[in-house]
Structure 1
Amino acid sequence: MTDVTPPDSTPLRTGTLSWLFPRRSALAAAFLVPLVVVLAVVAVTASSTGMSLPQTVSGLLRTGDPGSIMIVWDLRLPRVFAGLMVGAALGVSGCLTQTLAGNRLATPDLVGVNEGATAAVVASAAGSATGMVGDWWLGPLGAVAAAALVVLCAGGAGAAGYRLLVVGIGVSTFIGAVGDLVMSRQNDNTAGGVFLWAVGSLNGRDWSVGGPLLVALLFLLPLSLAAGHRLQLLRFDDDMAASLGVDLRRVRAAALALAVALAGLAVGVGGPIAFVALAAPILAQRLAGPTRVPVTGSALTGAALITAADALARVVAPVELPVGVVTSVLGGPFLLWVLFRSHRTTEKA
């Protein structure tokens, strides 16, 4: 009898029940979890204000002066926590989008998430004299509205991945142009405030943002794991997947809805931070192997990327940089690397 067990898995059996334990994915997670913890510690201690490491530790232990305690507990910890949540959401959203589209370069912003969220924030800040953007939850609402428009124009959420992406590019371009037109008529304070958010920034994020985001992730991540399990079958052609009992329209609709919800939450909190949703799934796939949809690995990789980039943004320049600037600078070479590897793989094939 031929053994059909995947080479990276170990079958575990209990009575009539059996489960394939993903060895390689588990090893990848065992590597990524400590990495995320280390990066979070580095991000908490990274300082743009000249605060020393002993002062940071005393502030963390609440044994230092009131200023140190306030900086660590009210500014740095909630910011790092929000960055972890944003990175995990972007990583999983990118993983679902790339698997759904069958393209490693597909990201949630191609279905209008970034532009929809930005349009909602622009609308909330329009006419403001202070330049303050609206509440963070306006971003997810705008993202969902834009994605719904894309789905409507594409003929339904169960449409083929490439069709959604092509329509998404057109709708995103239109919404982005309208947003730019509105911003061009605003005062300098409003334009500057929205621009900082639109680049991607975690500055000023507190516990009131991280708490709701954590609750949302605790609800959406298990659903994403279930969707990722079904999406593995979409790597075959549609006829093969349907013969295996997969409801293609329902699976695609559910995966798209989860990707939009996760990306909308991330963009609402941190702005449209570039390249994380692209890079995290690709790196996670390299660690976990090609036989699985790396939902967990993408979440951990995304959290690590955002945390590292935010820490670097605070120390790499004389003034603090938005995290989106760092990810954009690092993301360009990464995109070239992906394209170069894809070209070499095609030539070998």
Structure 2
Amino acid sequence: MIGSVCRFAPILLLLALVYLALAVGTPSLSASQLWAGLSGQGPGWLFTLVTEFRLPRLCAALLVGIGLGAAGALLQSVTRNHLVSPDVLGISDGALLALALSLILNPAGVLGPWWGAVVGALLTALVTLLAAGGVGTRGYRVLVVGVGMASLLRAGFDMALTTLPMFHAAGLYAFSVGSLAGRGWPVVGVAGGLLAILLLACTTVSRSLALLCLHDDSIRGLGVDLRRLRLIVMSLAAALAGVAAAIGGPIGFVALAAPMLARHLSANGGTPLWASALLGAILVAAADLFGRIAAAPAELPAGVVTGLLGGPFLLWLLMRSNSYGVS
């Protein structure tokens, strides 16, 4: 009985967050008003508020969380290290730098071509792997190189930011802290379609993730091309993180925490891919909702909220490293 409740608790929590994200704000809506807004039976302003402002922002938060949660689960599985995440390896910073460069080359848009983030994330993952000479034992080699890459790419972004006009620099800086404000259906629709394709591709490797906890020789003994598997998993993780960064900027902590929470709730102690994606959606939706109501009428970006939680969470993780096998 308790196990069943724990299994469905994340889904119930997500449904509650969906309702609160649509109903809470200025103005707050009752359940009947929310239904009238979704069904188009209420006044025009209510329909616009719900379907053109709050609903696409909620969908953006869910997509970002799904992408980050799945990316974190893939990276932690392939590196066998629970401290690895897209932001730690510099993948998120690579996506952000690519957006800044695209804006410099094409200043017509405030954020440049959004797909530049995906390209930047993939290139960062490839360079990190090449520089590290592979994943290495328990992912420490790629982790160390990734930390250096993250620092270098962040410095590159800061340099690019100083070359932009004030208007573009202010918009890009607000995006760089991880904000979902103003996300509309055009970005959500296209990025959501790409994310669906990537998640479909993840189903082809989801069964192989369990093999990655074995010794390399054991995996090769099963006839698995380990190098090819790692490259595919890393590429999928980088693309997922890139799509998430293209929608909401580099929102930290989620890709690190969601797989850990999924492992805690899992019966077999593995890293469930889909549970990590679900918990990632919950974390980003909760962070965005908290940011909207905590300092109303002002807003705290979701990335700031997750950053405030990320430091204490990482300290807690390090203190319990023996339990989670990160040392």
Fold match, TM over 0.5? yes
- Cα distance in 1 between the residues matched to 2:105 and 2:237: 32
Identify the match of residue 341 of structure 1 among 317, 320, 324.
320
Which residue matches 1:273?
251
Instruction: Return closer, same or farther for 1:129/1:143 CA change in 2, 3 Å cut-off.
Output: closer
CA contact (8 A) 1:280 1:301 kept: yes
Task: Give the counterpart letter for 1:147 in structure 2.
Answer: A
Which residue matches 1:20?
none
- Cα distance in 1 between the residues matched to 2:245 and 2:214: 32
- Cα distance in 2 between the residues matched to 1:267 and 1:91: 13
CA contact (8 A) 1:56 1:72 kept: yes
CA contact (8 A) 1:28 1:288 kept: no
Which residue matches 2:111?
133
Identify the match of residue 330 of structure 1 among 306, 309, 312.
309
CA contact (8 A) 1:118 1:139 kept: yes
Number of residue-to-residue matches in the alignment = 321
CA contact (8 A) 1:44 1:72 kept: yes
- Cα distance in 2 between the residues matched to 1:175 and 1:34: 39
Instruction: Return closer, same or farther for 1:257/1:301 CA change in 2, 3 Å cut-off.
Output: same
Which residue matches 2:281?
303
- Superposition deviation, residue 28 in structure 1: 5.7
SS at match of 1:133: coil
Instruction: Return closer, same or farther for 1:129/1:294 CA change in 2, 3 Å cut-off.
Output: closer
Q: Deviations over 1:123-171 (max 9, x none)?
A: 2333998992223222112212222222332346x76633322222222
Q: Which runs of 5+ in 1 are unaligned?
A: 1-23
Instruction: Return closer, same or farther for 1:103/1:193 CA change in 2, 3 Å cut-off.
Output: same
CA contact (8 A) 1:126 1:190 kept: no
Length-normalised TM-score, structure 2: 0.89
User: Does residue 144 of structure 2 align to residue 172 of structure 1?
Assistant: no
Q: Deviations over 1:252-285 (max 9, x none)?
A: 1111011001111001111000100001000011
- Cα distance in 2 between the residues matched to 1:265 and 1:181: 23
Which residue matches 1:294?
272
Identify the match of residue 50 of structure 1 among 8, 27, 31.
27
Task: Give the counterpart letter for 1:169 in structure 2.
Answer: V
Percent identity over the alignment is 40
- Cα distance in 2 between the residues matched to 1:135 and 1:203: 18
- Superposition deviation, residue 343 in structure 1: 4.9
Which residue matches 1:65?
43
Instruction: Return closer, same or farther for 1:129/1:164 CA change in 2, 3 Å cut-off.
Output: closer
Which residue matches 1:91?
69
- Cα distance in 1 between the residues matched to 2:293 and 2:324: 38
- Cα distance in 2 between the residues matched to 1:249 and 1:241: 11
CA contact (8 A) 2:195 2:243 kept: no
Length-normalised TM-score, structure 1: 0.84
Which residue matches 2:164?
186
- The range that moved more, 130-139 or 37-46, is 130-139
User: Does residue 300 of structure 2 align to residue 321 of structure 1?
Assistant: yes
Pairwise CA RMSD of aligned residues?
2.5
Q: Which runs of 5+ in 2 are unaligned?
A: none
Instruction: Return closer, same or farther for 1:344/1:239 CA change in 2, 3 Å cut-off.
Output: closer
Instruction: Return closer, same or farther for 1:62/1:269 CA change in 2, 3 Å cut-off.
Output: same
Which residue matches 2:86?
108
CA contact (8 A) 1:310 1:323 kept: yes
Which residue matches 2:99?
121
- Cα distance in 1 between the residues matched to 2:315 and 2:64: 24
- Superposition deviation, residue 236 in structure 1: 1.9
CA contact (8 A) 1:285 1:294 kept: yes
Mapping for residues 138-149 of structure 1, pairs under 5 Å:
138-149=116-127
CA contact (8 A) 1:92 1:262 kept: yes
Instruction: Return closer, same or farther for 1:94/1:28 CA change in 2, 3 Å cut-off.
Output: farther
